[in-house]
A and B are shown apart, each in its own frame.
Chain A
């Protein structure tokens, strides 16, 4: 709480404060493009009779594989960045308060108070970028779902090479089942993710922040004072 107060003071001073470092922004957009393409090619792989967006099945497989590995390296980049910055645990791992206080507060905001124009209960700072709900979600995504998807994806990329591992894990169908269900989860997440990005101070403020690195505070101040 002390930190937050400090941050707020800093922000009130009108300083440009980098929320998303350039490396993270680059990582985000590479990851974004890769995930979208993986979803689209994945859909063609799943329903080859219905979807032919990428021409032949072969082309779709190639694109899927390429972007799969891009995500793998991108993930390692992200992981390395936060490990080196020693912020991985602080930013991403939820603490008990996130469940007991943060989650209910944030939920009531998203589901009710936001409609009445109440101020957000949480403002992101470079030190604490995520509110409790985001923290819980991103923890699940980045520490469970993405790694699991990458591992299953790599295993499915070369069945022969990973034959023994696949067999030990219960067979191709089981691996595939995990991969598929996660793919659907990512697709659903993507939709909600994009929508929630519009819930900033203005419609595009979060999105702009992910491009330029900081939120347009002047405008926000003007708005708040008026």
Chain B
């Protein structure tokens, strides 16, 4: 023993003094150790007295709330969570020995999640509910936030909060379908608008398209769906690119392919409020500056199994997808300007304010019928309605509608070309591109629409850019403060513009602004649309529908006169302006069958002018005499000079 002590003492000292070994030996509690008790459901069956027997009782200590956490840990499940790499004692740091104390201290999540805890501590949620982290989140069963579905995210809130409290919210079900709670209730969370491609599934519901379904379309792009869509390769999916891709999907047999949008929280923010509920303000989201618009992405299925990849999308897509209407543009629209409020169509808030129940109006045509009854009556029986079954919103976005009269030919065409490809079916049409350039679709395809020829003032800027002149610009050109343009044009005040009145007005503008190219623009336009569309124009292939003096639009010529405040006044106009040779560029290209021949009326006009010039003809004829004399002298003299050589030769 004597010999043994010198060896044993330093060895024991070494063990006791080495902090490393000390910790290892006394506190290296493996998860397995914990799971001996907590890994079995038996622990749930034990009575409190039985449990007390296996721990060290600490009656003086205060118990910590546990929420819905149980003593039983499904370890398999835990190994799949984001916390899988942590040991039990990493969080339950006050366990020093087994058996551990009866009442453990609070786990400090801030060890890792200090930022989130910081946000939360300042929140109303923390103050009012005094909830602890694990009363909402189960740390033994957490999945990555990004992997949570919208429903799973909502399930975090719903155990305590009743979503039925949203009775004021128009389109409540739609909002719940597409949004998670924190989209509104965590104003500072980072959000994004995510699109994904869906198609009609077997049960008739729209479901996300899988990679297998999209694979066919990636040939030549190395199996990359993103590359197949982003054809110009600028890493941004533009509207026309996605439209083209969807058209392709449709062509190759995928049932009703479309883009579906979801607003998702990218980065949660743990300061929750019910501010939204108090304000009941649609403009929190329904403005183009809504927070989620800062990130517009397209989610596409990944080539190798399950995952998703995101591609940046052109923000212009926002305007094309009706479900998230922008209210900031809304007040500039024809609806907004005529005083139609959100709730006039979407919900009856007057009843809500009186504290009674109310019915949210569905987004169905009856909403439109309230004001546009005649349009709907016409449309209901049309071929378009029967074949396409599109309702109003299929073509028109009521939140960005401009007055029809102010739409350009391009904008009008865009309403149809959303679905119809003008390249198709117009092969027979001579001068097709010219027709497309100047005419809107309904010129031929809405036989009952009222058509006419519209004139307006325009300026051709350098670079051949044509700009239509508004009231202020014309006033500036005239150098007048508040001119009554209609009065200036219609000098005789008979409410009808003769070609002379228009041309002399144009001359005044030109004389005052000699350096600017001001001219009369002209377009054949639909003046009053008809919603009864047909393909008759295509079937008849009859040019004389338009190219004849009997053409319908020929019956109505109007001049559009801008007025102060942006309104436009129209005055009927004499059609003789089209046949005349004036310095209006377009009239020289305006070829209408049957209109370029002289008529009895023209002869009458001519005689009138002859009589009107009267004695001044003397000067005209006299000058012609002189010109004839000068002409004879010049030609004869020239021939004399030219033939000098001939005569000299002959003399020799």
Contacts and interface: CB of A to CB of B under 8 A. Distances in A.
Contact of A115 (B618, B630, B640, B651): B640
B463 interface: no
Most buried by A among B619, B622, B646, B647: B622
A173 B615 contact: yes
A134 B643 CA distance: 24
Contacts of A187: 622, 625-626, 629
A188 B629 contact: yes
Given A116-B643, A191-B633, A177 B625 contact: no
A184 B646 contact: no
Interface string B618-638: 110111011011101100110
B629 A191 contact: yes
A1 B650 CA distance: 28
A176 B628 CA distance: 22
A117 interface: yes
B519 to A, nearest CB: 30
B371 interface: no
B639 interface: yes
A66 interface: no
A180 B647 contact: no
A48 to B, nearest CB: 14
A187 B636 CA distance: 18
A191 B643 CA distance: 22
B629 A189 contact: yes
A117 B637 contact: no
Nearest to B622: A184
Nearest to A114: B640
A117 B651 contact: yes
A114 B647 CA distance: 9
Scoring B623, B629, B639, B651 by chain A CB atoms within 10 A of each residue's CB, the highest score goes to B629
Given A173-B615, A195-B633, A117 B650 contact: yes
Contact of B618 (A110, A177, A226): A177
Nearest to B623: A184
B646 A116 contact: yes
A13 B535 CA distance: 98
B632 A192 contact: yes
B619 to A, nearest CB: 7
Interface in A143-185: 173, 176-177, 180-181, 183-185
A181 B626 contact: no
Nearest to A47: B619
A191 B623 contact: no
B647 A191 contact: no
Contacts of B615: 173, 176-177
B131 to A, nearest CB: 98
Given A173-B615, A192-B633, A180 B622 contact: yes
Contact of B647 (A117, A181, A195): A117
Contact of B622 (A116, A176, A181): A181
Interface in B591-639: 615, 618-619, 621-623, 625-626, 628-630, 632-633, 636-637, 639
A115 B633 contact: no
B275 to A, nearest CB: 80
A188 B618 contact: no
Interface string A184-221: 11011101100100000000000000000000000000
B639 A115 contact: yes
A46 interface: yes
Given A173-B615, A177-B615, A195-B636, A184 B626 contact: yes
A116 B625 contact: no
A176 B619 CA distance: 12
Interface residues of B, number: 23
Q: Chain A interface secondary structure, helix, strand, loop or mixed?
A: helix
A187 B639 CA distance: 23
B625 A185 contact: yes
Chain A CB count within 10 A is highest, among B618, B637, B646, for B618
B226 to A, nearest CB: 77
A181 B618 contact: yes
A183 B622 contact: yes
Contacts of A176: 615
Given A177-B615, A183-B622, A188-B626, A115 B647 contact: yes
B208 to A, nearest CB: 84
Contact of A195 (B625, B626, B637, B643): B637
A225 B623 CA distance: 45
Contact of A191 (B622, B630, B640): B630
Contacts of A115: 639-640, 642-643, 646-647
Given A46-B619, A195-B636, A188 B643 contact: no
B641 to A, nearest CB: 10
Contact of B650 (A116, A181, A184, A192): A116
A5 to B, nearest CB: 25
Given A180-B618, A195-B637, A117 B646 contact: yes
Nearest to A112: B639
Interface string B268-281: 00000000000000
Contacts of A185: 622, 625
A42 to B, nearest CB: 11
Nearest to A188: B629
Nearest to B627: A188
Contacts of A226: 651
B384 to A, nearest CB: 66
A188 B625 CA distance: 6
Nearest to A178: B618
Contacts of A177: 615, 618
Contacts of A46: 619
Nearest to A182: B622
User: Taking each of B619, B625, B632, which has the highest tally of chain A beta carbons within 10 Å of its own beta carbon?
Assistant: B625
B516 to A, nearest CB: 29
A177 B620 CA distance: 12
B629 to A, nearest CB: 4
Interface string B509-550: 000000000000000000000000000000000000000000
A187 B485 CA distance: 48
Interface in B114-154: none
B628 A188 contact: yes
B97 to A, nearest CB: 123
Contacts of B643: 115-116
A189 B628 CA distance: 10
A191 B631 CA distance: 10
Contacts of A184: 618-619, 621-623, 625-626
A115 B623 CA distance: 29
A177 B616 CA distance: 9
B472 to A, nearest CB: 38
Top 7 A-B residue pairs of the complex, sorted by shortest distance between their CB atoms: A184-B622, A188-B629, A117-B647, A115-B643, A188-B625, A191-B629, A195-B633
7 contacts: A110-B636, A117-B651, A173-B615, A180-B618, A184-B623, A187-B629, A195-B633
Interface of A: 46, 110, 114-117, 173, 176-177, 180-181, 183-185, 187-189, 191-192, 195, 226
Interface of B: 615, 618-619, 621-623, 625-626, 628-630, 632-633, 636-637, 639-640, 642-643, 646-647, 650-651
Given A173-B615, A187-B625, A191-B630, 4 more contacts: A115-B646, A117-B646, A188-B628, A195-B636
